[in-house]
Amino acid sequence: MFPGMVVPVTLGRPRSVAAAQDAVRSERQIGILAQRDGSVDEPGEIDLYRIGTIANIVRYLTGKDGTHHVVSQGEQRFRVVEFLDGWPFLVARIERIAQPEGEAETPEIQARFINLKRQALEALELLPQVPQEMVQQIGAITDAGALADIVAAYLDLTPEQKQEVLETIDLAARIDRVSRFLAERIEVLRLSQEIGQQTRASLDKRQREVLLREQMAAIQKELGESDGKASEIEELTAAIDKAGMPKEVEEQARRELRRLERMPEAAAEYGMIRTYLDWLIELPWQLPPEAPIDLKEARRILDEDHYGLDKIKRRIIEYLAVRKLAPEGKAPILCFVGPPGVG
């Protein structure tokens, strides 16, 4: 919690409930300290930061399910001097941390204040659906320290980063720290806005294409071209899908198919593109896997189909043996010579 902020808090631990109830009964302020590790169920002195915020309990509520809630308003930073024993809840002796007189009036602080307010208003413009009241609240702030605390409270920071801001007592250093955090957030918001605009532009382009295609279909229908051409395009699309072409060839085929789809059937290039696509589709892009070379089976087939010719058979078997040992190597071309009918 930061000074000046109104924050609802749900009380879960018996010690916290007892402390809040005692403060309400005695009309005293409370001190709010953040835990170093939020997973600790029963934090002790060493589990709490030493700088926190003095707060007034504006309202205390008990839910129907027995839960306890307080609405607290931060007032001022404080530092724990020492924790005191003998109480049913954590009690400490503290010192209030006050802002030095006139510190916020120096030219350096005023320059930082103006820059931080400009950044805050820019961030609000980049955020979607920001309440106008928040813009007015930021614009009406005249205290530099209050502006730094409020901006840090609203920023999407980690608990550790918020504690860093809370513990930064020097006003100039605090404003600089918050300004750096805010600059990072503005950069993210700008990128998010650019991505959103690009996405919308892409959607607008697709919607325009859909509209144009619908108009083109209506025109083609009037010209009597729609039914036959649409089925032809569908057949070609399915054939390209099944052809098993390499990636580059498939991309080229689909480009030509899109050209064909936009082109009137009476155009001179229509038949050429259709013939080209048919040729690409009919090519044997997916060859069957080669069977392993079986030398004994090859010899058996040669002996069964051809009588004699031992020298030729031996040369064929040698050729197959080389292909089997070095399938990737370059093999000689066998040339068979003989009269017609002996092959």
In tens, the pLDDT along 123-139 reads 888 887 778 888 888 88
Say whether pTM exceeds 0.85: no
- Encoding tokens for residue 297? 């089976």
What element of type H or E holds 24? helix 14-26
- Encoding tokens for residue 119? 């950044």
Alpha helices in 129-267 (DSSP H): 132-140, 144-154, 159-167, 171-223, 226-243, 247-262
Q: Count the domains in the chain.
A: 4
Of 49, 44, 20, 46, whose CA–CA distance to 34 is shortest?
49
Q: Residues 274, 298: one domain? A: no
Residue 162 pLDDT = 93
Mean pLDDT of the chain: 84
Residue 339 has pLDDT above 90, yes or no: no
Q: Residues 11, 91: one domain? A: yes
- Encoding tokens for residue 79? 């530092």
Domain closes at, from 244, 267, 282? 282
Q: CB-based contacts of 329: which residues, under 8 Å, 6+ apart?
A: 322
Domain that includes residue 13, residue range: 6-97
- Contact assessment for residue 78 and residue 95, using Cβ atoms and an 8 Å cutoff: yes
Over residues 86-114, mean pLDDT: 87
CA distance 85 to 48: 16
Q: Residues 85, 143: one domain? A: no
Confirm whether 216 is domain-assigned: no
CA distance 93 to 99: 20
Over residues 209-215, mean pLDDT: 72
Q: Residues 30, 82: one domain? A: yes
3-state secondary structure of 286: coil
Confirm whether 197 is domain-assigned: no
- Contact assessment for residue 293 and residue 320, using Cβ atoms and an 8 Å cutoff: yes
Residue 70 has pLDDT above 70, yes or no: yes
Among 62-76, 95-109, 195-209, the least confident range: 195-209
pLDDT band, residue 217 (cuts 50/70/90): low
Confirm whether 236 is domain-assigned: yes
Percent of the chain exceeding pLDDT 90 equals 31
Of 172, 181, 166, 165, whose CA–CA distance to 112 is shortest?
172
pLDDT band, residue 29 (cuts 50/70/90): very high
CA distances from residue 320 to 224, 306, 327 in whole angstroms, order as listed: 60, 17, 10
Residue 117 pLDDT = 92
Residue 233 pLDDT = 84
Q: Residues 16, 82: one domain? A: yes
Residue 300 pLDDT = 80
Residue 27 has pLDDT above 80, yes or no: yes
Residue 59 pLDDT = 92
